[in-house]
Structure 1
Amino acid sequence: MFKNQLKIAWRSIKKQPFLNALNTFGLAIGIAGTLIICLFIYDELSYDQMFLDSERIHRINVDAKFGGPGREMSQVSAPMAGAILNDIPQVEEVIRFRPWGTTSLNKIDSRELVLEDNATWVDTNVVSMFGLKMLYGDPLKALEQPNSMILTKSAVEKHFEPSSAIGRELIVNEGQTFTITGVIEDLPQNSFLAEYSVFMSLMGFQDAFQNEWGNHNYNTFIKLKHNADAADIAAPLQGMMERYLIPYAQQFFPGITLKEFEAAGNYVNYSSMKLTDLHLHSHRAEDMGRNGDINNIYILSFIALFLILLASINFMNLSTAYSLKRAKEIGIRKTLGSNKKGIIRQFLMESGLITFGSLIIGLAMAWIALPFFNDLAEKAISIPYSSPVFWLVLFAAAILLALCSGSYPAFFMSKFRPARVLKGSGETSLGGAKLRSGLVIFQFAISVFLIIGTLVVGEQLQFIQNKDLGYSKDQVLLINNLNRLNNQAGSFKEEVKQLSQVADATLSEFVPTPSSRTDSSFFLEGKTDQESAVNMQGWRVDYDYMNTLDLKLVSGRDFDPSIATDSTAMIINESATKVLGLSPEEVLGKRVANGLGEDALSYYTVIGVVKNFHFESMRNVVRPLSLRISNSLGYMAVKLKSGNFEETVSKIQGIWDSRSPGLSFDYRFMDDSFNEVYENERRLGKIFIIFTSLSIFIACLGLFGLAAFNAHKRIKEIGVRKVLGASVGQITYRLSVDFLKLVGIAILIALPIGWFAMNRWLQDFTYRIEIGVGIFLASALLAILIAMLTVSYQSIKAAIVNPVKSLRTE
């Protein structure tokens, strides 16, 4: 019986090549798109799960507000780790990371410097706590001694053979000499440590042993004991504030209490977050690694669901529509003794064959498309062909898809009454039209929703790109590692400024693009109570900083090298004046101290107020900031004139190489650095475009098939209308208008849902667009245009047929 049903199913599929090609191709696209998204989601959800006891590891966070806007930080103070280990019995182990950014390494007998993008100081138990795979060295003793380091295999291969690297020495940042005591396997790409290649022992870092509760520089992780959870440590963690932080603050504010601190509107809240939640749920300052966003996972999950639903709806719609052509076949089957179950099995067999054919084609499509998707998403995803679980899930999903897609057509067709269908009464009375209309509405509602999402993401990115940032990021070259030039940095800058293609240049500690920064407490002269503290960043810059970046003054003046007292001058931003409670004019001439006690022996006189500029993501408000004159080296920003940028960069590199021949010239353009901040949104926008296009294409396949069926079913009506004088345009309109009504209903359903969903997405941005009527109009018009193009082809094709031929057709 099974063999017989299989043969009949195959013959039935071959009899309807157009219908089944649409079904197969539509399902294949849906399967391919859904598979790629599911692999992406699985990769995102698997972050950090490879580490030993990852479910027991948590990171300590702190939310703090003190003299300015609140901050959500992923770093806590150095003594926090010891206090946790001593005071919270549920904690088994603690570890600290002190990220150190780009670091140079060179062999003792070589001046050739090799840059590693991410190095970190770390406690001695990093290998054992995270279960890192040690290739060479003792995992328990590798970082016990000061000036010892562990390198990844890729990092050590740049200097020595990994097997002979233990005990060899490297010079770090042209200063200290470190001994290699361990080599670990390269870290997985889906881990928070993926970008780190150098791990230096904190035993040789004096700052790690200071009792400085006010500085937050250490990413601190704890491992809970078995049967303990985050709720058990929440109260003891928060108790650290009164137990340690308040006594520390009393050195500067004698007599201050927790109640007084909180009464001034300040707070310090400690909490923990699971290691496996960091990638998708943490958006804090100084996160280690590049994080994703759980909201994007939700969005992509819905898109995957929509894709497979659209493909299934196509199958159901086309199958039920074309089943009317098989009404007589079913009537004869029933007359000859076929029962309802047999007919259902037969049609489920057909849907199963189409589904598994689509699965094979969909897998091939996914395999072809995956490299392009990896480039877009910056991933290294692959189809796990060798995994039995993957194939089990895939075939189970295919069977479920075949049942879901084929069950309604099968049950629908099994209900045909032999007497009615054999009389020929009845293509119009067999039913299913309302359901098909509902499914078309659902398909296009999803498509319109995705169009709205695509347009909103694109508009927000355009808004970010075009918004006045308060500084100039175009044609600005950023050169890193200026501290390696030491006393030659000033002469390097002056020589670069002499180039005809260079407009200006500046040396500074920070620039308005992502980098590791910390805040400090500042006080107006004469106000030393904690209510008067202003928590803001203090950037050390040179005299050309404002001009090079085109920063605008609201009041006062710029730094002037001819005025000797400007060495103790300060320029603050508008946010700082707001926190100080003074206007931009009133604050001029005021003296500000950085810290209290001995730290406040030097005062800075405010000489200017700079207009707020965005030095952080537009998800955040612009926080207080101060600029001071100093010889601090970190970056050099070079403002270029229009022209041949490659030639200019080459000339600057030549000047660099003449001063530091062993160090590679590390540079980038500021607009590229700015764009990195919004890379997640940019990728999401591109993914939206791709899968929105796929969903629209799938919906159009179904609409195309239904339009073809509708035109075929009404072929005699068309002939009669033409004989009675109807024009091609009138007939095309009559055939198209019913479908366009359905699309109109879909638009009315999708618009409010799209507004609600995308408005929620925009809430993550402090500076954002308003979703205007234009986006809804564009989405509606695009959906109508696509539907018209899809339907009109079949309508026009039917309208131009010779009426004589139409009226002869049975």
Structure 2
Amino acid sequence: MAGALIIGLFIHFELSFNRSFADSERIFRVNIDNKIAGEVNEYAAVSGPLANVMLRDFPHAESITRFRHTNSIFIRSENATHNVKEEQVVGADSAFFSFFGIDLLYGDPHSALSEVNSLVLTKSAAEKHFSIHEAVGQIMILDNDQKYWVRGIIDDFPKNSLFRDYTVLISINSFDDYDSPAWNNWNFPTFIKLNPEATKAQLDDYLATVKERYLIPWAMQFIPGLTIESAQEQERTTGNYMRFESIALTDIHLKSPNISGEFSLNGDIKDVYILSFIGLLLIFLASVNFTNLSTARSLNRVKEVGIRKTLGSHRKSLVHQFLVESGLVSFLSMVLALLLSFLVLPYFNYLSNRSLEIPAGQWQFWAVLLVATLVLSSLSGSYPALFLSRFSPIKALKGQGVQPSNGAHIRSLLVIVQFMVSVFLIASTLVVFQQLSFIRNKDLGFKKEQVVVLNDVQVLGNNALTLKQEIEKLSNVKSVSLSSYLPTPSARSGLTYFPEGHVFEPDKAIIIGQWEVDFDYLRTLGLELVAGRDFDDKLKTDSSTVILNEAAVAMLGKTPQSAIGLRLTQDFKREDKENMEFSTVIGVVKNFHFETLRNSIDGLSLVLGKEANRMMIKLETTDYSKTLEKVEQHWASVADGQPFDYYFMDDSFATTYDTEQRLSKMFIIFTLLSVFIACLGLFGLAAFNVQRRSKEVSIRKILGASVFNISVSLSAGFLRLVLLAILLATPLAWYAMNRWLQDFSYRIDLPLWVFVLSAILAIGISLLTVSYQSLRAAIRNPVHAIRNE
């Protein structure tokens, strides 16, 4: 009951995401689904102009708000010397507060984000600098050179909202591109609130017209010969597409993948289904056990029933008595389950990365708990009550109340189901662990070990290069590289390339990622060139060159060797198109994983760039502490007052699969719990069987049967049930795990040994459980069982 209660709290928390906002059921976010050159991508942010055209042209829009994604910031009050880093920052428009029904603790919600260089802080962010009642009007310095005014303070966002980690809101008109007419700048998450009578279907119908009405006419300014008809024909012949689609605010957390532009890490509805299934199984298994144990225990109460019936008790009153007993056991169990939940919940929160708590102050919680306990006690206690109350008083007093066939099929079926569940969970847990082991050990195409990443080097300005040169001199440092783009979670950007000779031919264009790197990037990460050469700091012409990965080369229809020397352009928007700048492909790097293994490797280009907010340091030592101390000293010499923030790249890679790791640990816990409960059920049934066959065992023993023969005789029936459970559970586990693995582009093949090991474990556990009761019966003095009359 404690396990099911905690799972119930988890499911309620997951389903409650974003429902605390005003009119949440009428709010939708606009996404972009895009396929180009065979690559499918989804985006949670859209074009900047979309909000205005929807507000103008879509009659069912009650209000619209949009955001502008940005990076983390360093922030301090005007008179302070040390910065505070705020990781989660976003640009928001002045409609944000009224749109989501958010009240300000201090400040005017209508004007707080209306002026340039205005910002709003959450309570926890503001308290790092001053008392919140003094915050409004204060001047803050962002990234050491930008002056902003605090115009409002809000409470921290709820933990069950997509904004839960955000601490700073900046007025959206503080960004240079906030009013840009460009439709290819997908940096603006946009939300629309529909009128009460409007539907999602009407919104989707309107969004299906946006590309032809706005995006293509805008693109026609830059692509000669492009028309709406030609664009539609290209889609039909190539299979490429670009669609605006909507998703309900309340569906984002569980029904939206973690796509580009998401505010925070989403959950997965499949995890809710899995844990719901496990929670129901725990209750079901516990009920089965209660039924089996009560039935086995009923042998000791047969004469009690006979005496009560002889003295005038009716079957109805007996049923009532046994149901009351069941209810008392269930209520006592629930009290103990609540106490156990209080103790276990902090650990579960750590395990699941959630902030669950028992809502003791809500009457609805207690009502649900009461009803659930009543239903559970009724369901689990009904069969034992009916089983006991139907005994004939005469047969009961003679000890003949229980026949071998009484309820045998039902109890056998329950044992089969219990072990089906156990085998299913054991096999599933082993598969999850095999996939995670595969992820940890797979060759990713780059060397993440012994690489230290320094954050926020952009605050150093020109001193970043000085810091790099000083760190390169350290004895235990192999190489150093500056870039904002890493194979582990970091910045991402993309663009459209046209090959020379095919400019403005949409079917020849490729949309791929573009990373700005330096001359030491490939060497620091150990990236392998399959053709061409690396960037060379002695060649000034390399500023107009590009290195592609194998996936990008394949999108161009080239081999790595034939791609060398190819000229590409991304400069097709300029008016004087005869002066377009081209980049020459000088190298092709072997494919490496820069997304999770759930995704295939997309096309990527590497170009030289000066802007960087991270520094990678490749070490050649296991004594990290001394080297990091020296690095920190150099940091302090050029970044006075700036926090020294670093991490190891392999740790960052591990966090990418944090959800899977946590899910696997929960699988272990609930698998062990279900197996334990199944063993209790089998233990109860074995006890029932031993008591029912006690005279038979005694007679066999008197006639010369050995302890081994008696134990085998008592255990064989249970072993058949377990084998049947294995045969039924194995194909179910194979199907479920095969579906789960389909989410990974790179995955294991389901190994046969997983299911063999699951079967062996189930058989071993069942034999250990049954053997205890069988041996007890086999070594008991036969006289006691024969003379008990």
Structure 2 residue runs without a partner (length 5+)? none
Q: Which residue of 2 aligns with 1:634?
A: 613
Query: Is 1:196 paired with 2:166?
Result: yes
Deviations along 1:564-614, one digit per CA (max 9) or x if unpaired, are: 322222110111011100111111111111241438732211111111111
Q: Which residue of 2 aligns with 1:266?
A: 240
Amino acid at match of 2:134: S
Deviations along 1:288-321, one digit per CA (max 9) or x if unpaired, are: 1121000000000000000000000001112123
Shift of residue 547, structure 1, vs aligned partner: 1.2
Deviations along 1:418-441, one digit per CA (max 9) or x if unpaired, are: 343334335334611111111111
> Partner of 1:101: helix, strand, or coil?
coil
Does the CA contact (< 8 Å) of 1:261 and 1:267 recur in 2? Answer: no
| Mapping of residues 656-675 of structure 1, within 5 Å | 656-675=635-654
Query: Is 1:737 paired with 2:716?
Result: yes
Query: Is 1:580 paired with 2:556?
Result: yes
> Partner of 2:501: helix, strand, or coil?
coil
Query: Is 1:417 paired with 2:392?
Result: yes
Query: Is 1:150 paired with 2:120?
Result: yes
Amino acid at match of 2:72: T
Does the CA contact (< 8 Å) of 1:37 and 1:304 recur in 2? Answer: yes
Q: Which residue of 2 aligns with 1:5?
A: none
Rounded to whole Å, the distance in 1 between the matches of 2:573 and 2:112 is 41
Does the CA contact (< 8 Å) of 1:55 and 1:274 recur in 2? Answer: yes
Which of 513, 522, 529 is residue 537 of structure 1 equivalent to? Answer: 513
Rounded to whole Å, the distance in 2 between the matches of 1:285 and 1:715 is 67
Amino acid at match of 1:587: A
Query: Is 1:33 paired with 2:3?
Result: yes
| Root-mean-square deviation over aligned CA pairs | 1.6
Rounded to whole Å, the distance in 1 between the matches of 2:485 and 2:45 is 19
Q: Which residue of 1 aligns with 2:106?
A: 136
Amino acid at match of 1:275: L
Q: Which residue of 1 aligns with 2:318?
A: 343
Shift of residue 189, structure 1, vs aligned partner: 1.1
Query: Is 1:462 paired with 2:432?
Result: no
Query: Is 1:120 paired with 2:90?
Result: yes
Shift of residue 167, structure 1, vs aligned partner: 1.0
CA spacing shift, 1:731–1:503, aligned 2, 3 Å:
farther
> Partner of 2:125: helix, strand, or coil?
helix
Rounded to whole Å, the distance in 2 between the matches of 1:651 and 1:716 is 81
Does the CA contact (< 8 Å) of 1:124 and 1:142 recur in 2? Answer: yes
254-263 vs 289-298, greater mean Cα deviation: 254-263
Which of 294, 306, 318 is residue 319 of structure 1 equivalent to? Answer: 294
Q: Which residue of 2 aligns with 1:28?
A: none
> Partner of 1:109: helix, strand, or coil?
coil
Query: Is 1:750 paired with 2:729?
Result: yes
Does the CA contact (< 8 Å) of 2:531 and 2:560 recur in 1? Answer: yes
Does the CA contact (< 8 Å) of 1:524 and 1:593 recur in 2? Answer: yes
Q: Which residue of 1 aligns with 2:486?
A: 511
Rounded to whole Å, the distance in 1 between the matches of 2:766 and 2:103 is 56
Amino acid at match of 2:659: N
| Mapping of residues 337-416 of structure 1, within 5 Å | 337-416=312-391
Query: Is 1:59 paired with 2:29?
Result: yes
Rounded to whole Å, the distance in 2 between the matches of 1:448 and 1:756 is 14
Which of 156, 165, 176 is residue 135 of structure 2 equivalent to? Answer: 165
Which of 106, 110, 126 is residue 80 of structure 2 equivalent to? Answer: 110
Rounded to whole Å, the distance in 1 between the matches of 2:38 and 2:402 is 73
Shift of residue 76, structure 1, vs aligned partner: 0.3
Amino acid at match of 2:307: I
Q: Which residue of 2 aligns with 1:559?
A: 535
Does the CA contact (< 8 Å) of 1:310 and 1:443 recur in 2? Answer: yes
Does the CA contact (< 8 Å) of 2:330 and 2:373 recur in 1? Answer: yes
Amino acid at match of 2:252: L
Q: Normalized against structure 2, the TM-score is what?
A: 0.96
| Mapping of residues 759-798 of structure 1, within 5 Å | 759-798=738-777
Rounded to whole Å, the distance in 1 between the matches of 2:11 and 2:62 is 32
Query: Is 1:280 paired with 2:254?
Result: yes
Shift of residue 808, structure 1, vs aligned partner: 4.3
Rounded to whole Å, the distance in 2 between the matches of 1:55 and 1:709 is 54
Deviations along 1:93-143, one digit per CA (max 9) or x if unpaired, are: 111111212111122223311110111111111111111220111011111
Does the CA contact (< 8 Å) of 2:496 and 2:509 recur in 1? Answer: yes
Deviations along 1:269-298, one digit per CA (max 9) or x if unpaired, are: 111111111111111222111210000000
Q: Which residue of 1 aligns with 2:188?
A: 218
Shift of residue 235, structure 1, vs aligned partner: 1.4
Deviations along 1:402-449, one digit per CA (max 9) or x if unpaired, are: 100011111222222334333433533461111111111111111111
| Mapping of residues 614-763 of structure 1, within 5 Å | 614-763=593-742
Does the CA contact (< 8 Å) of 1:68 and 1:623 recur in 2? Answer: no
Deviations along 1:741-789, one digit per CA (max 9) or x if unpaired, are: 1111111111111111222222211112222211111111111111112
Off by >6 Å, runs of 4+ in structure 1: none
Shift of residue 352, structure 1, vs aligned partner: 0.8
Amino acid at match of 1:311: A
Deviations along 1:10-60, one digit per CA (max 9) or x if unpaired, are: xxxxxxxxxxxxxxxxxxxxx100000000111111111111111111110
Amino acid at match of 1:665: F
Rounded to whole Å, the distance in 1 between the matches of 2:234 and 2:413 is 61
Does the CA contact (< 8 Å) of 2:492 and 2:515 recur in 1? Answer: no
| Mapping of residues 495-510 of structure 1, within 5 Å | 495-510=470-485
Rounded to whole Å, the distance in 1 between the matches of 2:321 and 2:174 is 75
408-417 vs 364-373, greater mean Cα deviation: 408-417
Deviations along 1:658-710, one digit per CA (max 9) or x if unpaired, are: 11021101211112211222211111111111111111111111212222333
**Percent of pairs with identical residues:** 48
Rounded to whole Å, the distance in 2 between the matches of 1:586 and 1:561 is 24
Rounded to whole Å, the distance in 2 between the matches of 1:549 and 1:734 is 64
Amino acid at match of 2:478: A
Amino acid at match of 1:581: G
Which of 212, 215, 221 is residue 245 of structure 1 equivalent to? Answer: 215
Q: Which residue of 2 aligns with 1:12?
A: none
Which of 46, 49, 52 is residue 82 of structure 1 equivalent to? Answer: 52
Shift of residue 503, structure 1, vs aligned partner: 2.0
> Partner of 2:673: helix, strand, or coil?
helix
Does the CA contact (< 8 Å) of 1:320 and 1:432 recur in 2? Answer: no
Amino acid at match of 2:651: D
Rounded to whole Å, the distance in 2 between the matches of 1:594 and 1:311 is 64
Rounded to whole Å, the distance in 1 between the matches of 2:317 and 2:56 is 72
Shift of residue 195, structure 1, vs aligned partner: 0.7
Rounded to whole Å, the distance in 2 between the matches of 1:68 and 1:492 is 42
Does the CA contact (< 8 Å) of 2:30 and 2:247 recur in 1? Answer: yes
132-141 vs 494-503, greater mean Cα deviation: 494-503
Does the CA contact (< 8 Å) of 1:520 and 1:595 recur in 2? Answer: no
Deviations along 1:478-518, one digit per CA (max 9) or x if unpaired, are: 11111111111112112112222222221113000123422
| Mapping of residues 418-497 of structure 1, within 5 Å | 418-429=393-404, 431-497=406-472
597-606 vs 757-766, greater mean Cα deviation: 597-606
Does the CA contact (< 8 Å) of 2:484 and 2:490 recur in 1? Answer: no
Q: Which residue of 2 aligns with 1:205?
A: 175
Rounded to whole Å, the distance in 1 between the matches of 2:763 and 2:327 is 33
Rounded to whole Å, the distance in 2 between the matches of 1:724 and 1:506 is 85
Rounded to whole Å, the distance in 1 between the matches of 2:746 and 2:588 is 22
Q: Which residue of 1 aligns with 2:525?
A: 549
Structure 1 residue runs without a partner (length 5+)? 1-30
Does the CA contact (< 8 Å) of 1:68 and 1:534 recur in 2? Answer: no
| Mapping of residues 37-48 of structure 1, within 5 Å | 37-48=7-18
Rounded to whole Å, the distance in 2 between the matches of 1:612 and 1:56 is 43
Rounded to whole Å, the distance in 1 between the matches of 2:720 and 2:571 is 69
Does the CA contact (< 8 Å) of 2:391 and 2:401 recur in 1? Answer: no
Q: Which residue of 2 aligns with 1:11?
A: none
Q: Which residue of 1 aligns with 2:199?
A: 229
> Partner of 1:379: helix, strand, or coil?
coil
> How many equivalent residue pairs?
780
Rounded to whole Å, the distance in 1 between the matches of 2:619 and 2:719 is 54
